Protein backbone atom coordinates (compact mmCIF):
# COMPACT_ATOMS: atom_id res chain seq x y z
CA UNK A 1 0.00 0.00 0.00
CA UNK A 2 1.30 3.44 -0.93
CA UNK A 3 1.84 5.95 1.85
CA UNK A 4 -0.03 8.59 -0.14
CA UNK A 5 -2.95 7.82 -2.42
CA UNK A 6 -4.12 10.26 -5.07
CA UNK A 7 -6.51 9.61 -7.92
CA UNK A 8 -4.52 10.24 -11.12
CA UNK A 9 -7.60 11.24 -13.08
CA UNK A 10 -7.74 12.56 -15.69
CA UNK A 11 -10.27 15.11 -14.49
CA UNK A 12 -12.02 17.35 -17.01
CA UNK A 13 -14.26 20.26 -15.98
CA UNK A 14 -15.84 23.27 -17.69
CA UNK A 15 -14.47 26.73 -17.08
CA UNK A 16 -15.88 28.28 -13.92
CA UNK A 17 -16.43 24.97 -12.14
CA UNK A 18 -15.29 24.24 -8.61
CA UNK A 19 -12.58 21.59 -8.63
CA UNK A 20 -11.95 19.25 -5.73
CA UNK A 21 -8.68 17.34 -5.53
CA UNK A 22 -7.96 14.88 -2.74
CA UNK A 23 -5.27 12.74 -1.16
CA UNK A 24 -5.34 10.21 1.62
CA UNK A 25 -2.35 9.06 3.58
CA UNK A 26 -1.51 6.28 5.98
CA UNK A 27 1.53 7.60 7.86
CA UNK A 28 0.41 9.45 10.98
CA UNK A 29 3.88 10.99 11.25
CA UNK A 30 3.11 13.36 8.39
CA UNK A 31 2.68 16.85 9.81
CA UNK A 32 3.27 19.18 6.85
CA UNK A 33 1.09 19.14 3.77
CA UNK A 34 1.63 20.79 0.43
CA UNK A 35 -0.02 21.12 -2.94
CA UNK A 36 2.06 21.65 -6.05
CA UNK A 37 0.97 22.47 -9.59
CA UNK A 38 3.06 21.13 -12.44
CA UNK A 39 2.67 22.18 -16.03
CA UNK A 40 3.94 19.85 -18.71
CA UNK A 41 7.74 19.77 -18.93
CA UNK A 42 8.12 22.20 -16.01
CA UNK A 43 9.10 21.89 -12.37
CA UNK A 44 6.40 21.78 -9.69
CA UNK A 45 5.20 25.12 -8.34
CA UNK A 46 4.24 25.38 -4.69
CA UNK A 47 0.59 26.42 -4.35
CA UNK A 48 -0.33 25.83 -0.74
CA UNK A 49 1.26 24.52 2.43
CA UNK A 50 -0.41 23.76 5.72
CA UNK A 51 0.55 22.36 9.06
CA UNK A 52 -2.52 22.09 11.19
CA UNK A 53 -5.92 20.61 10.53
CA UNK A 54 -8.42 23.04 9.10
CA UNK A 55 -8.71 25.30 6.08
CA UNK A 56 -6.28 27.71 4.47
CA UNK A 57 -7.36 30.02 1.70
CA UNK A 58 -5.30 31.86 -0.91
CA UNK A 59 -7.22 33.54 -3.67
CA UNK A 60 -9.16 30.91 -5.61
CA UNK A 61 -7.42 28.08 -3.79
CA UNK A 62 -8.43 26.50 -0.49
CA UNK A 63 -6.44 23.74 1.18
CA UNK A 64 -8.13 21.56 3.74
CA UNK A 65 -6.48 19.13 6.13
CA UNK A 66 -8.22 16.56 8.31
CA UNK A 67 -5.54 14.77 10.29
CA UNK A 68 -8.05 12.60 12.12
CA UNK A 69 -9.17 11.12 8.81
CA UNK A 70 -5.73 11.38 7.17
CA UNK A 71 -7.30 13.26 4.31
CA UNK A 72 -6.32 16.45 2.53
CA UNK A 73 -8.06 18.41 -0.19
CA UNK A 74 -7.45 21.29 -2.56
CA UNK A 75 -10.39 23.27 -3.88
CA UNK A 76 -10.13 25.54 -6.89
CA UNK A 77 -12.95 28.03 -7.33
CA UNK A 78 -13.88 29.63 -10.65
CA UNK A 79 -11.50 27.33 -12.50
CA UNK A 80 -9.74 28.71 -15.56
CA UNK A 81 -8.19 27.02 -18.61
CA UNK A 82 -4.82 28.18 -17.24
CA UNK A 83 -5.40 25.90 -14.25
CA UNK A 84 -5.02 22.91 -16.55
CA UNK A 85 -2.04 21.05 -15.13
CA UNK A 86 -1.09 18.13 -12.93
CA UNK A 87 -1.67 18.71 -9.23
CA UNK A 88 0.54 16.89 -6.77
CA UNK A 89 -0.08 16.54 -3.08
CA UNK A 90 3.01 16.15 -0.92
CA UNK A 91 3.68 15.70 2.75
CA UNK A 92 6.50 15.35 5.22
CA UNK A 93 7.04 14.49 8.82
CA UNK A 94 9.49 17.17 9.85
CA UNK A 95 10.50 20.63 8.77
CA UNK A 96 12.62 20.68 5.61
CA UNK A 97 12.68 16.92 5.26
CA UNK A 98 11.99 14.72 2.29
CA UNK A 99 8.56 14.88 0.73
CA UNK A 100 6.33 11.98 -0.09
CA UNK A 101 4.28 12.72 -3.18
CA UNK A 102 0.97 11.50 -4.43
CA UNK A 103 0.78 10.23 -7.97
CA UNK A 104 -0.65 13.54 -9.21
CA UNK A 105 -4.05 14.37 -10.69
CA UNK A 106 -4.18 15.59 -14.26
CA UNK A 107 -6.74 18.40 -14.55
CA UNK A 108 -8.13 19.93 -17.74
CA UNK A 109 -10.36 22.99 -17.60
CA UNK A 110 -12.27 23.40 -20.83
CA UNK A 111 -13.16 26.89 -22.11
CA UNK B 1 7.88 32.52 -3.54
CA UNK B 2 11.56 31.66 -3.60
CA UNK B 3 13.31 31.05 -6.91
CA UNK B 4 15.35 28.01 -7.86
CA UNK B 5 17.11 27.79 -11.20
CA UNK B 6 18.56 24.87 -13.10
CA UNK B 7 21.07 24.77 -15.89
CA UNK B 8 20.92 23.54 -18.54
CA UNK B 9 17.20 23.27 -19.21
CA UNK B 10 17.84 20.51 -21.70
CA UNK B 11 20.85 18.55 -22.82
CA UNK B 12 21.58 15.84 -25.36
CA UNK B 13 24.68 13.74 -24.88
CA UNK B 14 26.20 10.61 -26.32
CA UNK B 15 26.23 7.33 -24.47
CA UNK B 16 29.30 6.99 -22.26
CA UNK B 17 29.80 10.69 -21.62
CA UNK B 18 29.15 12.58 -18.38
CA UNK B 19 26.71 15.42 -17.87
CA UNK B 20 26.61 17.99 -15.08
CA UNK B 21 23.39 19.72 -14.02
CA UNK B 22 23.46 22.78 -11.78
CA UNK B 23 20.81 23.80 -9.26
CA UNK B 24 20.89 27.25 -7.69
CA UNK B 25 18.75 28.97 -5.09
CA UNK B 26 18.67 32.57 -6.28
CA UNK B 27 17.19 34.50 -3.37
CA UNK B 28 17.64 32.34 -0.31
CA UNK B 29 20.18 30.08 1.32
CA UNK B 30 19.35 26.43 0.90
CA UNK B 31 20.72 24.19 3.59
CA UNK B 32 19.10 21.18 1.98
CA UNK B 33 18.68 20.36 -1.68
CA UNK B 34 16.91 17.41 -3.20
CA UNK B 35 17.29 15.75 -6.57
CA UNK B 36 14.41 14.01 -8.31
CA UNK B 37 13.85 12.29 -11.60
CA UNK B 38 10.53 12.06 -13.31
CA UNK B 39 9.41 9.81 -16.15
CA UNK B 40 6.52 10.83 -18.43
CA UNK B 41 3.13 10.80 -16.72
CA UNK B 42 4.65 9.68 -13.44
CA UNK B 43 5.24 11.39 -10.14
CA UNK B 44 8.60 12.58 -8.86
CA UNK B 45 11.06 10.00 -7.60
CA UNK B 46 13.52 11.22 -4.98
CA UNK B 47 17.07 10.30 -5.87
CA UNK B 48 19.08 11.92 -3.10
CA UNK B 49 19.16 14.55 -0.39
CA UNK B 50 22.14 16.81 0.09
CA UNK B 51 23.04 19.15 2.90
CA UNK B 52 25.59 21.89 2.39
CA UNK B 53 29.07 20.64 3.19
CA UNK B 54 27.99 17.03 3.73
CA UNK B 55 27.85 13.92 1.61
CA UNK B 56 24.56 13.29 -0.11
CA UNK B 57 22.16 10.66 1.16
CA UNK B 58 20.97 8.45 -1.68
CA UNK B 59 17.67 6.63 -1.89
CA UNK B 60 17.65 2.90 -2.13
CA UNK B 61 18.36 1.71 -5.63
CA UNK B 62 20.10 4.91 -6.75
CA UNK B 63 23.73 4.33 -7.74
CA UNK B 64 25.85 6.87 -5.91
CA UNK B 65 28.81 6.30 -8.19
CA UNK B 66 26.70 7.03 -11.23
CA UNK B 67 24.83 10.05 -9.91
CA UNK B 68 27.39 12.26 -8.20
CA UNK B 69 25.95 15.03 -6.08
CA UNK B 70 27.89 17.96 -4.70
CA UNK B 71 26.41 20.65 -2.44
CA UNK B 72 29.40 22.93 -2.16
CA UNK B 73 27.64 26.10 -1.05
CA UNK B 74 24.35 27.30 0.38
CA UNK B 75 23.17 28.30 -3.08
CA UNK B 76 24.55 25.63 -5.40
CA UNK B 77 24.20 21.89 -5.81
CA UNK B 78 25.30 19.86 -8.81
CA UNK B 79 24.26 16.48 -10.15
CA UNK B 80 26.69 14.71 -12.46
CA UNK B 81 25.43 11.75 -14.43
CA UNK B 82 28.55 9.71 -15.17
CA UNK B 83 28.90 7.37 -18.13
CA UNK B 84 25.36 8.15 -19.20
CA UNK B 85 23.30 5.54 -21.01
CA UNK B 86 19.99 5.84 -22.88
CA UNK B 87 18.09 4.51 -19.84
CA UNK B 88 19.29 7.59 -17.91
CA UNK B 89 17.24 9.78 -20.23
CA UNK B 90 14.72 11.50 -18.01
CA UNK B 91 13.54 14.78 -16.53
CA UNK B 92 15.74 15.75 -13.58
CA UNK B 93 14.39 18.26 -11.09
CA UNK B 94 16.03 19.78 -8.04
CA UNK B 95 14.38 21.44 -5.07
CA UNK B 96 15.73 23.51 -2.23
CA UNK B 97 14.68 24.14 1.33
CA UNK B 98 15.87 26.91 3.61
CA UNK B 99 16.79 26.27 7.20
CA UNK B 100 14.01 28.42 8.55
CA UNK B 101 11.12 26.90 6.69
CA UNK B 102 9.85 23.62 5.48
CA UNK B 103 8.71 24.57 2.01
CA UNK B 104 10.56 22.99 -0.86
CA UNK B 105 10.87 25.14 -3.94
CA UNK B 106 11.52 23.39 -7.21
CA UNK B 107 13.65 24.28 -10.15
CA UNK B 108 12.27 24.21 -13.71
CA UNK B 109 13.87 20.87 -14.46
CA UNK B 110 16.48 19.57 -16.90
CA UNK B 111 15.54 17.24 -19.69
CA UNK B 112 18.37 14.80 -20.41
CA UNK B 113 18.44 12.74 -23.58
CA UNK B 114 21.21 10.20 -24.01
CA UNK B 115 21.69 8.95 -27.56
A88 or B53: which carries more pLDDT confidence?
A88
Give the residue-averaged pLDDT of A86-98: 85
| pLDDT more than 90, % of chain B | 74
Search chain A and give the residue with CA nearest B111. Answer: A41
pLDDT at B99 over 80: no
Average pLDDT, chain A: 93
Give the residue-averaged pLDDT of A89-98: 82
Question: Residue B1: what pLDDT?
Answer: 66
Average pLDDT, chain B: 92
d(CA A4, nearest CA chain B) in Å: 12
Give the residue-averaged pLDDT of B5-14: 97
Q: Is B1 exposed, middle or buried (0-12, 13-18, 19+ CB in 10 A)?
A: exposed
Alpha carbons B115 and A20: distance in angstroms, whole number? 41
Contact B4 A96 (CB under 8 A): no
pLDDT in tens, B36-82: 999 988 889 999 999 888 889 999 999 999 999 998 899 999 999 99
List, in order, residues 6 or more apart from A80 with CB less than 8 Å away.
A15, A109
Assess A46–B contact: CB distance below 8 Å, yes or no.
yes
Q: How confident is the model at residue A96 (pLDDT cuts 50, 70, 90)?
A: low
Q: Phi-psi category of B26—alpha, beta or left, where left has phi over 0 and alpha has psi -120 to 50?
A: alpha
- Tell me which of B43, B57, B113 to substitute to probe the interface with A (most A C-beta atoms closer than 10 Å): B43
Q: Pick B103's closest partner by Cβ from A49, A101, A103.
A: A49
Contact B4 A101 (CB under 8 A): no
Assess B13–A contact: CB distance below 8 Å, yes or no.
no
Nearest of B12, B9, B7, B33 to residue B86 by alpha carbon: B12
Q: How confident is the model at residue A105 (pLDDT cuts 50, 70, 90)?
A: very high
Contact A46 B1 (CB under 8 A): yes
**Which residues on neighbouring strands pair with residue B37, listed in sequence order?**
B45, B92
Give the residue-averaged pLDDT of B90-108: 87
pLDDT at A39 over 80: yes
Alpha carbons B32 and A60: distance in angstroms, whole number? 31
Structural contact between residues A72 and A55, judged by C-beta atoms closer than 8 angstroms: no
Amino acid sequence: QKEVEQDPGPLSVPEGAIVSLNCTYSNSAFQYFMWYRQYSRKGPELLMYTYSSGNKEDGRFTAQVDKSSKYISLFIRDSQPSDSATYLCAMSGTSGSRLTFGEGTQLTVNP
Amino acid sequence: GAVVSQHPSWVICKSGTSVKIECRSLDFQATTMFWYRQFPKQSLMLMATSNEGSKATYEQGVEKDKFLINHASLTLSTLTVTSAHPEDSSFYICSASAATGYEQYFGPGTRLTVT
